[in-house]
Structure formats: structure tokens, C-alpha cells
Amino acid sequence: MLLEEIRNRAKEEKTKLKAKAEAERLLQEREQRNEERAARSNVDSDVEDSEDEDNWDEAKEAALQESLEFEPEDPEDKEVRLRETYLRIASCVTRFSPFDTLGYVMICPPFSDSELEVLFDEGCIPEVVVRLNIAAETYAQRSALHAAQRHEAMQNAEVPHASAAEVEASKKATQLARDAARLQRRREKALRKWRRRHIGVNDIDSPSEAEDEAETQREQGHSGDASGGDNDSDSDAMVAASDNRDGQSATAKDYFTQEEELNEFMDGIEERLVEVVRIDGRAARRTVYRAVIEALGRHMRHRASLFYVPEVMRFEDAKARLTAGVCDLSSFGYEDPVHLYRYRHDGSQIECAWKPAGVRVGPEQQLEENERGYYVAGGAGDNESGNDHEPEEPEELSEVLSDEVQELRDVVNRCRRRRQRETALRVARVHRRLYFFENDDSLLCFVRDPWPFIRQSPPTPRLLQHPVVSVYEYDDRYTTENGGEKKRVLADSIAFNLRMKCMSVSSLLAWGAVHPHWHALRLDCMLAAQQGSVDPALVHKLLILYLSTAEVKRRGAVLHNLPSTASSAEALPQVACTAPIVKVMTTLFTSLKNGMAADLSAPNADGEVDWWVAAVSALERHAAVRLPLPRPSVPLDASNLVAAVHGVEEYVQQTQEALLRKQRAFPVRLHNSYQVYSYVHRHLSQFGTFCPYEWLDHDDLVRSVRAPMVSPVATATWAPLSVSTSNEVDLRWGASYLNQYFFFSSADYLERFLNNPTTVTDPSKTKPMPKHFPVIASPPVNMAYLALEGCCPVLLYDTRDFRGMRGVIQPVAKKGSLDCVVEYDGNLYALLDREHMTRFLRRPWQYVDGAHLPQVLRRPLPTGTSPSDIVNHEEYIQRQLYDPVALALLAVAQERPIYPGLSVEESALKYIALYLKAHRDPASLSDFEEKTYRHYFEVYQQRATLYRSLPSSSSEARTKQKVAGGATGAVSLSSAALDREYCAIFEDSIADARDMSFFNRLPPPSEAAL
């Protein structure tokens, strides 16, 4: 609207000016006609003039007079009005995007008070005003140089073949600039002389007279070179000097005018309480640019501006700026943002390497005193005086030698400072924030393009307690080392890559022996080192003290074969100040026992192995600490080192992320985390260790059970390490939310909970859990305490509608296995197998409520009673023979067997006998007996039903067989082959009919295999 108003007013003024010019023209024409009328006297013209007078009325004359009265707007007033309007437009524009979101920098001349009032009324209030202070001398010099450069640029832009006059003019302009600079230097020199004469001779800022004379001679030399020649050049120099003085006066006048306007503008800004930043503009352009950016950075803290370029600085300067408060730490703190960015996109960046071998320090040689009183190595004092190796008498340090020592000290200090600079963090400053880097590669990558690293999310909070890792492996270094070479084990390389200390029993003794505050403990450590045997109590005490130090909590540690006993491993978590062992890596399961069995020189090897195995078991019973290795049988394998280092680093990252999620009240995944089992059980949710979604959606109790991770060979060999984990929770599918632990039956349910935990924790969606939960009972279990007389409740439930041969409901009752016993509501129930136990654990109330046993004779025999122990024949028949014989008779009626060579009665009886053997209870037979009896029954059944497939000899039957075979396209045996096969079976049947005991004997297993 403001622009339209300006345009409409300009159009209106233009239209009025045109109307005024038209009115002036019409009035002038009328005056001319009046003069001509007075000059003429004929009648016709009078008639015509009368007609013209009739068209010229008073209204038209009034309109013309009104147009004549219009006066255009004064140029100064118009300029003021336009400036105010443009300021209002600029104020409106600053409220639009992107100025209102990203901010803006306004480069403007000094405004007057009225213009400032317009800006502030429209809401265009600046956050800060930058004032560049430039002295008059600097302004004059830069103006002269700028004029010379502009003139030179204009000369270069014109035709190359310029005239001699133009060339002379350009030379004249250059000479004027030089004269102006020379004149300025003379003024400064005169000022210094005046200060030296009137203020003091010993003024440190004033140069000496010799310097002034040298400068005067230098100026004279330059002036002689520039103006050496004829009188014309002297006159030109005088004219140039006069022009230069005129230019200097004009420049000074312009400078003071602008300075007054700027001062008035600054007074108005300061009266309106706007912050003013004053920058000295006499420095170089780049320096002034840096100062302005640094001064404006506080006002542009939350804006990503391209003005912020990284500035590399020394670590000492960065610390000084942090101490002074000039700069602040970034959101990354002292962590490398480039390393964090690469880890988030490409994974772990640690390049694992084996720790180099070292050299063991041998025993020192004893010094002996010779005849002259000098202490030399053993045997050296017996040398004769003529020996070249005779020790010389020590000299006193002379002054020259002391200077050399000081030089050596300086060299050592310089080397120390160089190493400190090389190992110090690299620092880059962006705006007022400091970013730290581990190496030059990260720093260079950040300087090239800092924005991807700055825009990433800040790092997760650092751990207050860094991880403590325990590595168990056989240490045979002392028996295999040669020549004092110190070999390394896997624990040394893990600590080397993780930048931690590796502590073993010998390291603990050395650490305790040099500690300044433990006098009694120091003596015990020294005595143990001299004797070569260490008391486990002393090792445990040293380990507790070491894990309680601030160094371990700040940087972590790697323990080699520590803790060494089960009692020590169990006692460590009970000390509140000690750092917990969060990861345990071991190679004991496959290679340790074999390695020490072959190495008979290792002292007390078997005892140490038993202690280590017990310690590992104690640590694993306490918390989830296992970190498996890819090849534990080969400890010094590269894959083991990479898996260990990356596993610990992954644990640190996940723990930091879990800490952040916990602080923000988000669910936390428990996989690969350090969790104490007792603490987890004390802080379970209302669902316990059961999956909430299985209960809420399907009414099933599905417990998150961790299966044992020990192979059968390892279980048979390492029985102490095979800990029962049937009731321990599985952390892979667990999560923590609001200081409660939830466990799930699958990874899908876990992801569903992590995305939206309120589906489980919302009180309106939950339903109460059962009062009693099923628990797997650990063996041994007494059969006398089993409910339902030891019968499987799941089988009773599945056969609850089963009807016997007489049509009566008779559920099947079978004894359960003692390996599948579950405790529920104070009762013990035995299940048939694992499948039935899994079903019972899901819904135990479904199988227990309403479960009843069949009649007494349909129930299994009591424990310890066999069928042969039944005295009553009627009970024996009802319990053992009733159903099998009835089923056998039904099979005889269906098959109607007739064995070749036997009568119908004999065939039926033999069929019943073999049927009973083949269909006995599988629990009472071995696999070999079951297969043999079933094979005999199938053979007898095939022979007894041969009469159903007698071969036909008629030509008509054969023709029908050929037609049927051709129609179906099937490949069948010829009639002759069928006849031969039938005859062979029949002959075998006749041969066996003479001695039917063939079906009663069990062949030897060797013959049956053949």
C-alpha cells in the first residue's frame, strides 16, 4: 500500500503539472486574442469573438485558475517524505520470511531523529549497532588510495591507445596520491618532534633524531627521483601539491561532516537503549572482519550463518579463552564431533592392533668398592691399573659444563612441550564455541565442511563409571619367554586398544608396593613379591582398593585373571565404592584345560584353573556379564581382539544412550547391558517376567526364559560352569521403563513396546494378572508329592471328551516325566514332555481347574509297581488286557487273516498275538524291540492276506490288465513277474508255517542291522 500511495501521488502530481501547463497555455492564448480584438475594428471578427466569448465561461476560468494555483512539492520535503516511506517499507519487509527467522544485517547511512522515530514506531528495532571507528589520517590515506585505484581502473577500461595527455593525467593523479602520503608522513614527523621537545626526551613512543633525519633523506631521495628533471616537472609538482592540499582539505571537511552525523546518530541510538559495538577500523580488512563476527556472534547464537568459518587455535589458547569466559564449550564438550559422526554412520572406528612386545627388567648388578674407593660393577675392581676400562676420577662441573647441562635441559623441555602439543587435543573455534578433535585428520575434515558435524545431535552423556573388563586366559609367558623379551597376552592388547590399564596379580603387587599411604600393605606386597606366592586375601584387598580409585572410574580397567577366587567375585559387589565388572571374556571352556595339561611346568595349574572357573561362575550368577569370543580355543586370534574391543565400545555407546533415554523418560533396551539379576527381580513390573502383550492380547503366560548357552561337550567337561538358567530372564528381549523391567517373548513385541510403551503401562488398558504363577521345579522331585497321582494334566485335558469302547467318557491318564515338573498354586504337576510343559506354563489354570482322573482301573500303576506284581487276575485282565485284546479282535474281524498252512482259528490267534506285541506301550519297549515286533506283524499280515490277490490265468483277465495298463500309462510288472513274486511269498509262508516260533524270537541286533 505504501508503494501504491507513492506511485499514485507521483501520478497525481504529474497530472496536475500537465493541467497547470495547459491552463497557462489557454490563458496566454486568450490574452493574445484579446489583444488582437482590440486591434481589429471590423464587424465579422466581432461576431466571431462574441462566439468565442460565449464558450469561455466563468466555470472554465475558475478551473484554469485552480490549476494555475497548484505548486509542486518542495524537493527537500519530497526527499524527506520518500525516505520516511521507504523506511516504513523496509520495516514491513523485515517482518517477512526469511528476515524474521534468519535475521538480517542492514548497511545504512546515519539516520536522523525523525527517521529513527519512524523505524522504532514500525517495530524495526535493531538488536545491536556496529560502529567502525576510523581516524582522520587513515580516512585521508584510504580516500587517496581509493581515488588512485578508481582512476587507474578507469584508465584500464578505456581504449589501450590513449593519448599523451591522458597518460600525463594519470601520472599526475598517481603523483598526487604519493604527495598526499608524503605530506601525511611529514605531519606525523612534525608531531613527533613537537612531542619530543615539549613532553620529554625519553618518550619511548618517539623515534630518535637520527631516525627522523634518515626518513627526511629517504623522502628527499624519493622526491628527487619523482621530480628530477627540468623546471616544468618542478612546476607540475607544485601544482600537484596545491591540488593535493585542496583535496586534503575537501577530504577532511567530508570526514568531519560524516563524523558529526555519526555522532548524532549514535547519541539517538544510545538514548533508545540499543547496544552499540565499537570496532577499531584501522586494522586490516580480515582482522576487522574477524572482530565484527566475534562481536556479533552473541546476537546470532541460534542462527547458522555462513559468516562463521572455523578458526584453528592452539590448545593452550583455547584453555585461556575458556578460563576468561571469552569462548564457551560446544554441545559436544571435549568429544570429537567428526569421530562421533563417523561412528553413527559407519560404525566403530577403532583400528585394533596387537600391543608390541616389551623387555623385562632383570636384576641389577651389585656394586663393589675397589682399592681407590670407587664403586664399580662386580669383578671390575680386580682389574689392573693399566686396564683401559679403569674408572676415571669424577670431575667437578665447570661453568662451560653447566651451560651444556642447561642446554640439555632446554632441549628436554622443548621435547616435552612438543610431545604435549602432539598429544593434546586439536581445537577449532566457530563463533564463540570451541570444538575439540583427537587428530589432525578430524580437524582437517571439520575445517573443510563443518556444518554436517555441527548440525548433528549432541553426544550422549558421558558415563560416570567407565567399564571394568575381566579377561580369563592361561598365562604362559614366564615359561616361554627367551632373552628377557616380554610377551603380551590378549588382555594386554585389549587394554592397549581401549586406552586402559591392564592389571594382573603382579601389577597389583607393584601398585600396592609403591603407594605412599599404605605402610603395612606395602610391606605385605614386598614380602609376597620376594617369596613368589600371594595370599588370595591380599589380592582381594588390593583389588577392592584399586577398583575404588578415581582413575578406574574415570578411565576404566582391564583385569587379567582377576578376581581369582569365587569368594572374591562374590564379595566385590557387596563393597559400594568398588567399580563393578561389567564384561567377562574367557578362553577357559575349550583350550585352557588342555593347554595346562600339556604344560607340566606350570606351578599349581590345576588349582588356579578351579579357582578361575569358580570366579567366572560367581560373576555370571550375579549379573549379565558374558561377552563371547569368536574363537576362544585360540586366544591370540585377531577376531577375538576385534570382537572384544568393539564389544566394549558398543557397550559404552549403548550405556550412554540408555542413560540419555532414562533421563528423558523413554524405554531402554536391556540387551548387552550390565544388569544385576537380584536388582532386576526386585524391580519387575506388574507382569513380572511374562510378556505383557501375550497376556493382554491372548491371555497367555509366556515367560522370557534364557536357554543355556553351553554345548554338550562343554557341559560334560566343565560341570561347575553349567549353571541352571531355566528361570533367569532373557535380557535380549527386555526393556526398562520408569524404573521397572518388562520382558517380552519376541523381538517384535519388544520393538512395539519401545515405540509406544503406554499400550502396556496405561492403567485403562491393563488387566490383573493371576494370583499364582507356574514355576519350573528343579530336580530331584519326590513322586509322592505330585498332584493327580503324577498324571499329566495336559493329556487329561486333551482327552477329556474321549469315549472308550463302551461309549463311556474315559480320559487318558499317563505318568508325567520327572524332568518336566511345574509348581503351580502349591502343587506339583508332572508333564509328559517339553511340549506339554510349554502348554501348561502358558495357561495352567485351564488344565488344572476341573481336571479329574478316570476310573481306578484306567489309571497308571503306582510308582515302583509293575504289571507282574498284580495278584488279582481279574484286575490284571481289566487293567492290562481288556482294551488291547478288544482292539485285536476288531482288527481280526476287519482283516480276516488266513495264513497259508494254518487253519482259520490258528491264523486268527497268531494274528492277535502279533498285534498285541506290535501295539504295546512304547514306554515299555526299546526302539529295537518296537521296530522288530512291528516288522513281524507287517510280514504276517501280508502273508495272511495273500488270498485277496490270487493271480488270474485266464486270457480274458490278462487282456483286461493290458488294456487298463495302456489306458493309464503306468509301468507295471508283467503277469509272469507277479506270479513269481506271489509264489515266492507263498513258499516262504508254507516254510514258516511248519515252525511259527520264527515270529516269537528276537534276532540279534547285529543280524537285524544286516
Q: Which of 114-118, 492-496, 925-929 has the highest average model confidence (pLDDT)? A: 492-496
pLDDT tens digits, one per residue of 514-555: 888 888 888 999 999 888 888 999 999 999 999 999 999 999
691 and 557 in one domain? Answer: no
pLDDT tens digits, one per residue of 234-293: 444 444 445 555 555 556 668 888 888 888 888 888 888 888 888 888 888 888 887 887
User: Cis omega before residue 563 (within 30°)?
Assistant: yes
What does the angle CA 45 – CA 47 – CA 53 come to, to the nearest 5 degrees? 100
CA distances (Å), origin 60, targets 28, 67, 989: 14, 11, 149
973 and 921 in one domain? Answer: yes
Q: Does the structure show a pLDDT above 80 at 89?
A: no
**Mean pLDDT across the stretch 76-100?**
75
CA distances (Å), origin 446, targets 333, 339, 345, 457: 15, 10, 16, 16
Q: Which of 66, 93, 126 is the last residue of a domain?
A: 126
**Mean pLDDT across the stretch 899-920?**
85
Ranges 5-19, 572-586, 756-770, 791-805: which has the least confidence: 5-19
| 3-class secondary structure, 740 | strand
485 and 608 in one domain? Answer: yes
Ranges 95-104, 505-514, 751-760, 824-833: which has the least confidence: 95-104
548 and 512 in one domain? Answer: yes
Task: Determine the pLDDT at residue 308.
Answer: 66
Inside any domain, residue 368: no
pLDDT tens digits, one per residue of 172-200: 888 888 888 878 877 777 777 777 666 65
Task: Determine the pLDDT at residue 695.
Answer: 92
942 and 973 in one domain? Answer: yes
Selected residue with higher pLDDT from 93 and 140: 140
Confidence of residue 62 (pLDDT cuts 50, 70, 90): confident
Ranges 162-176, 358-372, 619-633, 756-770: which has the least confidence: 358-372
Q: Does the structure show a pLDDT above 80 at 570?
A: yes
pLDDT tens digits, one per residue of 428-458: 998 889 999 999 999 999 988 888 899 899 8
Ranges 375-389, 611-625, 793-807: which has the least confidence: 375-389
Alpha-carbon gap, residue 654 to 658, rounded angstroms: 6
- Contact predicate 533/477, CB 8 Å: no
Ranges 68-82, 156-170, 641-655, 715-729: which has the least confidence: 715-729
pLDDT tens digits, one per residue of 90-126: 777 777 777 776 777 888 777 777 777 777 777 777 8
Distance of CA 486 to the CA centre of its chain: 37
Q: What beta strand segments (E) does 881-936 contain?
A: none
600 and 473 in one domain? Answer: yes
Task: Determine the pLDDT at residue 603.
Answer: 41
Alpha-carbon gap, residue 734 to 753, rounded angstroms: 10
Inside any domain, residue 865: no
Selected residue with higher pLDDT from 342 and 381: 342
Q: Which of 604-608, 649-653, 805-809 has the highest average model confidence (pLDDT)? A: 649-653
Inside any domain, residue 976: yes
Inside any domain, residue 647: yes
Inside any domain, residue 317: yes
- Contact predicate 750/735, CB 8 Å: yes
Q: Are strands 433-437 and 426-430 parallel, antiparallel or unpaired?
A: antiparallel
Q: Does the structure show a pLDDT above 60 at 222?
A: no
Q: What percent of the chain has pLDDT over 90?
A: 19
Distance of CA 478 to the CA centre of its chain: 41
| pTM score | 0.57
Per-chain mean pLDDT for the chain: 77
Q: Which of 821, 833, 730, 840 is nearest to 776 (CA)?
A: 821
646 and 520 in one domain? Answer: yes
Selected residue with higher pLDDT from 625 and 398: 625
- Residue 428 host element (H or E): strand 426-430
Q: Which of 212-226, 721-735, 785-799 has the highest average model confidence (pLDDT)? A: 785-799
934 and 901 in one domain? Answer: yes
Q: Does the structure show a pLDDT above 60 at 53?
A: no
| 3-class secondary structure, 824 | strand
Alpha-carbon gap, residue 910 to 545, rounded angstroms: 84
> What's the CATH code of the domain at 575?
3.40.50.300
Task: Determine the pLDDT at residue 330.
Answer: 93
pLDDT tens digits, one per residue of 372-412: 554 455 544 444 444 444 555 555 545 545 667 788 888 88
Confidence of residue 504 (pLDDT cuts 50, 70, 90): very high
571 and 478 in one domain? Answer: yes
Inside any domain, residue 816: yes
Instruction: Report the largest interatomic distance among the alpha carbons of the chain, rounded to a whole angstrom.
Output: 180
Domain that holds residue 985: 875-1009
Task: Determine the pLDDT at residue 736.
Answer: 94
What residues contact residue 592 under an 8 Å CB cut-off, 6+ apart?
472, 473, 474, 609, 612
Task: Determine the pLDDT at residue 175.
Answer: 81
Helices and strands of the chain, counted as H and E runs: 41, 20
Alpha-carbon gap, residue 912 to 881, rounded angstroms: 12
Task: Determine the pLDDT at residue 403.
Answer: 67
Inside any domain, residue 868: no
Q: What beta strand segments (E) does 784-904 contain?
A: 817-824, 827-831
Q: Does the structure show a pLDDT above 50 at 326?
A: yes
pLDDT tens digits, one per residue of 472-484: 988 877 766 666 6
Q: Does the structure show a pLDDT above 50 at 224?
A: no
641 and 501 in one domain? Answer: yes
Alpha-carbon gap, residue 900 to 982, rounded angstroms: 12
Q: Which of 246, 271, 296 is the last residue of a domain?
A: 271
User: In the numeric block, which cell numbers belong to residue 198?
Assistant: 615539549
Task: Determine the pLDDT at residue 715.
Answer: 30
Q: How many separate domains does the chain show?
A: 7
645 and 514 in one domain? Answer: yes
pLDDT tens digits, one per residue of 872-888: 777 777 777 777 888 88
Per-residue burial over 548-577, b = 16 or more CB atoms within 10 Å of its CB, e = otherwise: eeeebbeebbbbbbbbbbbbbbbbbbeeee
Q: Which of 209-213, 391-395, 752-756, 966-970 has the highest average model confidence (pLDDT)? A: 752-756
Inside any domain, residue 403: no
CA distances (Å), origin 663, targets 650, 680, 851: 20, 19, 50
pLDDT tens digits, one per residue of 831-860: 998 999 999 999 999 999 888 888 777 777
Task: Determine the pLDDT at residue 370.
Answer: 54
**Mean pLDDT across the stretch 982-991?**
69
Confidence of residue 970 (pLDDT cuts 50, 70, 90): very low
Q: Are strands 468-472 and 557-560 parallel, antiparallel or unpaired?
A: parallel
Q: Which of 94, 126, 158 is the last residue of a domain?
A: 126
Q: Does the structure show a pLDDT above 60 at 1010?
A: no
Q: What percent of the chain has pLDDT over 70?
A: 73
179 and 260 in one domain? Answer: yes
